[in-house]
Structure 1
Amino acid sequence: MVIYEPADLHAGPTLVVGDAAGLADPFTGEGIYAALYSACLAAEVIAEQVNWQVPDLGGYTSLVRERMGPELANAFRVTRWFFPASGLVHRLLHRHQGLATCMLQVIAGDLPYTSFFDACRNQPALLFCPGGHDRTAIFEIVRAPRG
């Protein structure tokens, strides 16, 4: 299991966000969302402690790990199997329309990596059947709330 555990993202009165914190998506390289989201998390921590004599910004690192860690860990997982086996992955995506559809949604940022892995684990028949699937049915199952 891959766990995303960044080093401390704070030092004294300074917080590190976005690309500087190593929060860019390791699969797509996209970093705008992570930069904005981590800045919002930083603002949340700062707002809680703005009136403190000696603010403790260590909660920022914990917040990033908690809220961004699982998704970044799953992006690392995709990267680890996708690039070394790109020929095999290409053949799988070509033969399995459900898998290709979900992968395109992940790349577009419309489907979280966590939901993609949940679908692979919980609905493999839907994703790995050859072509002909209704995209709406795939997304209803992939995006269904976890029970």
Structure 2
Amino acid sequence: MRKLAGLAALVLIAGCSAEAPAPECDFDCTFERHMAAIQQGDFPAFEATITERPDFQLIYPGGERVEGLEAYMADMREFLALDFDFQYEIVEKQVTAEMGFALLDVTFAVEGQDTPSRFYLLLVFALQDGEWRLVHDQNTRQPPAENGDEGEAG
């Protein structure tokens, strides 16, 4: 009986100290899926990369703040339904065990628009319930390029 109790204790200790399994899709994988969904206007694929928690923040280029997951998803459903071209360059990317972000230099043009807009896009992802999910989306308008030259971002 003592041996059985000792074995049970070892199993419990081992179970408590075991690390959570690695996510099926790591930060880079989730980031790539998220960006592909945007470029393809694929709302279901986009939705799969977003947190399921209600406390989401979106900040538009003009500073307007949208609070809540439901409002964010409604805006994004409408956005992804547009006919647009969305190109980006990664400015910086950092990842820790539980959070990561990507800062992007984005050129965005809607079909029929004369001049594309440029903005910085900051996407913050968190590891939630074993999956990387977008938790914050912030956009900052870039000033127009001088002399019609796109030049360097920043």
TM-score band (shorter)? under 0.3
Return the TM-score normalized by structure 2: 0.23
Which structure features the higher share of strand residues? 2
Which structure features the higher share of helix residues? 1
Return the TM-score normalized by structure 1: 0.24
